[in-house]
Amino acid sequence: MKRKVAAWLMAVLAGGMMISCGQGAPAKKGSGNGETAEADTGRPVITFTEYRHDFGKLTEGEVVSHTFHFTNTGTADLLITSVSASCGCTVPKYSKKPVKPGESGDIEVEFNTLGKSGHQQKSIAVRGNTSPPVTMLVITADVEPARK
């Protein structure tokens, strides 16, 4: 009787070990990195036509804008969750609607030079469901003092 219980206990433990290690489960196709083909629904990729824009020489007090164009070159819908600038003088505008693969969108950036002088460099962080999750854009300008 003890041998039957011991054999049954060993079979249960061995079966449990095989299931917990994935040995008893059917094989799934995947990339070999732990992801299965069924779980891989693709990734959005945001690709800008340019990542930097130089406004050149400006006079203090000017308000200028530039539109950064991008395309979703990935295989899933792109969702921009936020766009933030490094300074309150720089205001980004963007659509919160998903961008389908192959489609394009814009991020407009307005820069107010009031109270600024010299070389200016401002960063714009674009956050979304992309990999990497943050893409940086940069605007620069050389601001000359306004004549009084």
Q: How many domains does the chain divide into? A: 2
Same domain, 76 and 128: yes
- Of the pLDDT bands very low, low, confident and very high (cuts 50, 70, 90), residue 3 is low
Asked if 91 and 22 sit in the same domain, the reply is: no
What integer is the mean pLDDT of 107-129? 98
- The sign of the CA dihedral 144, 109, 82, 105 is negative
- Distances in Å between the Cα of 116 and the Cα atoms of 58, 60, 79, 90, 95 are 10, 6, 33, 12, 29
The boundaries of the domain holding residue 104 are 46-144
71 and 136 in a single domain? The answer is: yes
Q: Are residues 87 and 125 in the same domain?
A: yes
Whole-angstrom Cα distance, residue 1 to residue 72? 67
Name the pTM for this structure: 0.72
**What CA–CA distance (Å, rounded) separates 91 from 95?**
14
Whether 6 and 59 share a structural domain: no
Question: In angstroms, rounded to a whole number, what is the distance separating the alpha carbons of residues 46 and 43?
Answer: 10
CATH code of the domain in which 132 resides:
2.60.40.10
Tens digit of each residue's pLDDT (9 = 90 or more) over 16-54 = 443 334 334 333 333 344 433 344 469 999 999 999 999
C-alpha gyration radius of the chain: 27
The whole-number pLDDT of residue 147 equals: 85
